[in-house]
Amino acid sequence: MPVVRTLSLQVMHRDGVAPLAFTFDTVICGGYSGRNQEAIERHIAELRAHGLEAPSKTPIFFKVSTNLVSTETVVEVQGPRTSGEVEFVLLCQGAPRWVTVGSDHTDRELEKYSIAGSKQMYPKLLAPTVWPLEEVADHWDELLLRAWVHVEGERHLYQEDTLAAMLPPAQLLAAAAQEYPPAAFQQAVVFSGTIATQGGALLFGERFDVELLDPVLDRCLQHSYAIEIL
């Protein structure tokens, strides 16, 4: 039986804020989900340069445990080689209804041997505030993803691109639906997959910041979390 969980969130509408108790029983993490095949190949080359496993096809999707999804502000890790990945996150009830920003925190040592295992290792963080998808649908490609890594107290821009670089929601879910049945998306949290890093390098730090900027409606979703080595 699926394990059902509930996230206590808030919806930022154009005209105000309202609480949202979002119930879900499925979490899917996407990967290599860019529109530009050359950019995907660059990202794969980044991972191979670090000795990480490369996928046999793109995009790829992994189901992970529902207990991994969190809005917490601290991630406890086993070693220094872990890193976040900024992503847009869809909250689906049959169809996607809300979008927010999140981070698929990943163990890079384990990823050398198992992508699926590395996805299961650490929490999937997301911002506690979401937007109705219908409010951004007409200017989706103008939304901007950004991430920063704090390394020894210095904040470095790590990732930055518009959502024009990513598969849009309908295409992303259509690709995921080739792997999972329609029932999986009745109450689902879907992480999109990430964008390339600045300069093609992985950074390992003590804090990770993510944001999704809407330049048309002049608003921003943000989340930040500390990375604590046990």
> Is 0.75 surpassed by the pTM of this model?
yes
Confidence band (pLDDT; 50, 70, 90) for 2? confident
Domain ranges of the chain: 5-229
Helix (H) or strand (E) holding 62, with range, is strand 60-64
* pLDDT at residue 44 tops 80: no
Average pLDDT over residues 100-106: 97
The length of the chain is 230
* d(C-alpha 212, C-alpha 215), whole Å: 10
Give the pLDDT score at 45: 76
> How is residue 129 written in tokens?
């505030």
* pLDDT at residue 146 tops 80: yes
Quick: pLDDT tens for 74-99.
999 999 999 999 999 999 998 889 99
Quick: pLDDT tens for 22-39.
999 999 999 889 888 777
Confidence band (pLDDT; 50, 70, 90) for 112? confident
Mean pLDDT score across all residues of the chain? 92
Shortest CA distance to 124 belongs to which of 179, 64, 172? 64
* d(C-alpha 9, C-alpha 18), whole Å: 9
Residues of the chain with pLDDT > 90, as a percent, come to 76
Q: Does domain 5-229 bear CATH number 3.65.10.10? A: no
Backbone angles phi, psi at 185, to 5 degrees: -105, 10
- Tell me the C-alpha to C-alpha distance, in Å, between residue 141 and each of 124, 133, 148, 190, 192: 24, 13, 21, 18, 14
Confidence band (pLDDT; 50, 70, 90) for 101? very high
* pLDDT at residue 53 tops 70: no
Give the pLDDT score at 199: 84
